Structures are given as structure tokens and as C-alpha cells.
Amino acid sequence: MLLIPCPYCGPRSEEEFSYGNEAHVPRPKEPEKLNDAEWAEFVFIRSNVKGVFLERWVHSHGCRRWFNVARDTVSYEILAVYETGAKPPKLEMRRAV
């Protein structure tokens, strides 16, 4: 079970949060110009990283604010928490096979 440090409320149990999957997936600037393959990429395809993953969480049963988390999806260690819109911190983006 994760103890997630909400940047606004402090550490809380994972049950208080909802998940937003991968962070930094840019919304298309000119949606009308996207072809089907680009739409598929935006809507369905995520990196699903085994290793350090940048992801979005929302504190649904708390402050209800979104934020980003850098988490190792193998050890489940939370390496950094940062605001939506901010650049990810410098981390070693390790990958496992």
C-alpha cells in the first residue's frame, strides 16, 4: 500500500487518491489536424514503464487537487512529488526488463 505525500495535505493512504496514469502527455494543440494514428497515440497509448514512471494523481478524498509523482513501478518507491505544470525533477530514469 502506498503512502502518497500530497504536496498540499501531506502523506496520506493511497485509498484517498485516484490515478491519472502517465504525466506530461501533451494535449494536441491543433486537434483538427490530427490523423487517426496520432489520435490513437494521444488517447490510448501510454509508456507503461517498468522503472521510474512520471504519473498523475488526484487527492479525490482530500484537497481534490492534481499533482505529479515520480515513482519506481518495481520497488514502488516514491522519488519525487511536484506540481502539475512543473518540469519533472532531475532523476535517474532507470528502466528494468
Partner 1 sequence: MMPRYSIFSLLRNALSYHEDWPEAWRSPEPKPSYEVVIVGGGGHGLATAYYLAKEHGITDVAVIERGWLGGGNTGRNTTIVRSNYLWDESAALYEFALKIWEGLSQELNYNVMFSQRGVLNLAHNQHDLRELSRRINANRLNDVDSEFLTPAQVKRMVPLIDLRAGGRYPVLGATLQRRGGTGRHDALAWGYARGADARGVDIIQECAVDGFRIQNGRVAGVETAKGFIGADKVAIAVAGHSSVMASLAGFRLPVTSVPLQALVSEPVKPAIDTVIMSNAVHAYISQSDRGEFVIGAGADKYVGYGQRGSLPVSEETLTAVCELFPCLRRMRMMRQWGGIVDICPDASPIIGKTPVDGLYINCGWGTGGFKSTPGSGWVYAHTIAKDEPHELNAPFSLDRFRTGYLINEQGAAAVAH
Q: For residue 83, what are the CA distances in angstroms to 6, 45, 68, 77, 88?
A: 10, 23, 6, 18, 9
**Helix, strand, or coil here: 5?**
strand
The entry of partner 1, Zn ion, none near residue 19 (CB within 5 to 8 angstroms by kind) is partner 1
The nearer residue to partner 1, 1 or 85, going by C-beta atoms, is: 1
Binders in 3-22 for Zn ion, by CB under 5 A: 6, 8-9
> Is residue 63 close enough to count as binding Zn ion by CB under 5 A?
yes
The nearer residue to partner 1, 37 or 87, going by C-beta atoms, is: 37
Which amino acid type is present at position 18?
Answer: S
Least distance to partner 1 from the beta carbon of 46, Å?
7
* Rounded CA separation 97/85 (Å): 30
12, 2 Cβ separation under 8 angstroms? no
The entry of Zn ion, partner 1, none near residue 63 (CB within 5 to 8 angstroms by kind) is Zn ion
Least distance to partner 1 from the beta carbon of 75, Å?
7
